[in-house]
Every structure is written in C-alpha cells, then in structure tokens.
Structure 1
Amino acid sequence: MHVRRCLTAALAAAALVGGGLATASAAQAQALSTQAYSCHFYASGGGEYAGHYSGNTVVPSSTSVTSAGIEAQCLLSRIGYYTDSVDGIFGPHSQAAMELAQQTYNSVYHKHVSVDGFPGPESWWGLRLVAGG
C-alpha cells in the first residue's frame, strides 16, 4: 500500500511539473483509483467467506473491480497463495494464485478442476473449502 501511495504522489508531481495538469492515461487512472479492500472472514455451511460475494458461479474480471474478484483474492490470501493487495481486479498475480489453488484441489481432493486461473462454477467450492480449513 505504501508503494501505491508513493507511485500516486510521483505521478501527480510529474503531471504538475510537466506544465500543468495532464490528462492521465487509462493505466494511470486505474492506478490512481485502485484501492485495497478488507476481508471479513466467516464460516458458513462448511465453507469460508470474506464478506464480498457469497455465490459460486461468477467468474471475476481481469480488467475491472468486482465483488467476486475481491472475494477470491481474500480467500487466496487466507491460504497464503496471494500476497498482493486485495484490489478486486483478477489480474496475472491473482490468476497465478488461483492456478496453484486449482492444482491443489486436483492433487489433494482427486478432482478434475480445470487449471485456468479463474474461480468459476467448478472451483469456487474448493477455494471456500481450502480457505476454511
């Protein structure tokens, strides 16, 4: 989080020094608007939840913030597979963490979950189960 604040300050200073307020690129706007979300864990029905999404079908977006993305990042963080800030955008780090979780389901629970890096209908159950115990 400290790095993000420093980056935001540096981008703002560069825009001002460059001769006034410059129009931010889409990537800069995304970096400036990204925030970290809190995870509030609770158990229900044998699974773990983080308070953002309680379903098991939505696939998080890799380009925008979604409640499913926040939930999945929280659960992946809980099991130690995801170490970045929880921002709700299911990008490359989130996908790599999810691939590890999917490989774990397949080896530990002898399942045949697709290792695609996204929680979806066939892998939300495993993410909630592993995070819960």
Structure 2
Amino acid sequence: MRRSIATALTVATLIAGTVAAPAAFARTSTTQAYTCHYSVSGGKAYAGYYSGNTVIPSSTGVSSSGIEAQCLLKRAKFDPGTIDGVFGTNSKAAAKRFQTLMNNAFGYNIAIDGIVGQETWPALRWYADYNA
C-alpha cells in the first residue's frame, strides 16, 4: 500500500513538473521593463533600486544594481536599451561610451571595460545629476 502511494506521488510530481516547466520558461524569457524613480542627494543621482557603489551589475540575471546602472546611464543620455536589470551587450556598450567621456572630458582614469564597478559608480551618479 505504501509503495503504491509513493509511486502515485512520484508520478504526480513528475507530471506537475512537466506541466509547470514550460510556464516557468516562458516567464524567464519575457523582458520586463522597470521604471526609474530618480532622486538626487549630495550631488549624486539615484534611481531607487541600489544606492551603493561596489556591486557590479550581472550580465546573466536581473539585479537591482543592473536596474540602477541602466537607469543612471539612461538619465546621463547613454542609451542602455531596455531597463530590464540584465547588464547585457547594450548596457555594456553604453557604459563604455560613458567611461570614455568621463576620461576624455573630465580627466577620470576609469577602465573602459563596460563594467560599472567601484571606479564607475561614483562618476555615473555624479554625471547623471550633472547632465540631467
């Protein structure tokens, strides 16, 4: 009797997992656009998702630092594409253009690598306020 119940539960779980899998895949493959909620404090711009200066946005998944960096790049007039929290090709290209500008126009010495990290965050926050 116990074996029959265990077998039935296993089959039900496998069926439920098979039915649920396509729905889960569909959710992760659609792009959600986030809204930027800008504010300024101490001459630095914020978009309401991440307030630090150390976390590097992820290129493989949605992150609050990714949304923040995309919002600030957009405010600074460096189009990162869709504000979706995934720091992909468009976002990295926008970050490289921003880093180049900061080095050439303002004398920064930021690595032009498309990574928004400890060197880029403070400049991005400042410029997103300065250029708004």
Q: TM-score normalized by structure 1?
A: 0.76
Instruction: Show the counterpart of 1:17.
Output: none
Instruction: Show the counterpart of 1:120.
Output: 117
Counterparts of 1:38-49 in structure 2, within 5 Å, are 38-49=35-46
Confirm whether residue 84 of structure 1 aligns to residue 84 of structure 2: no
Per-residue Cα deviation, 1:12-42 (whole angstroms, up to 9, x for no partner): xxxxxxxxx8x65x9865322x311110000
Confirm whether residue 100 of structure 1 aligns to residue 97 of structure 2: yes
Higher Rg of the two aligned structures = 2
Counterparts of 1:1-133 in structure 2, within 5 Å, are 24=22, 30-32=28-30, 34-82=31-79, 84-133=81-130
Q: TM-score normalized by structure 2?
A: 0.77
Distance across 1 between alignment mates of 2:112 and 2:26: 31
Larger helix percent = 2
Q: Moved runs in structure 1, 4+ residues, more than 4 A?
A: 26-29
How far the C-alpha of 1:43 sits from its partner, in A, is: 0.3
How far the C-alpha of 1:123 sits from its partner, in A, is: 0.8
User: Which amino acid in structure 2 is aligned with residue 31 of structure 1?
Assistant: S
Instruction: Show the counterpart of 2:6.
Output: none
Instruction: Show the counterpart of 2:9.
Output: none
How far the C-alpha of 1:116 sits from its partner, in A, is: 0.6
Distance across 2 between alignment mates of 1:60 and 1:110: 24
How far the C-alpha of 1:61 sits from its partner, in A, is: 0.4
Identity of aligned residues (%): 46
User: Which amino acid in structure 2 is aligned with residue 50 of structure 1?
Assistant: A
Partner of 2:40, secondary structure, is strand
How far the C-alpha of 1:76 sits from its partner, in A, is: 0.6
Per-residue Cα deviation, 1:90-113 (whole angstroms, up to 9, x for no partner): 000000000011001101111110
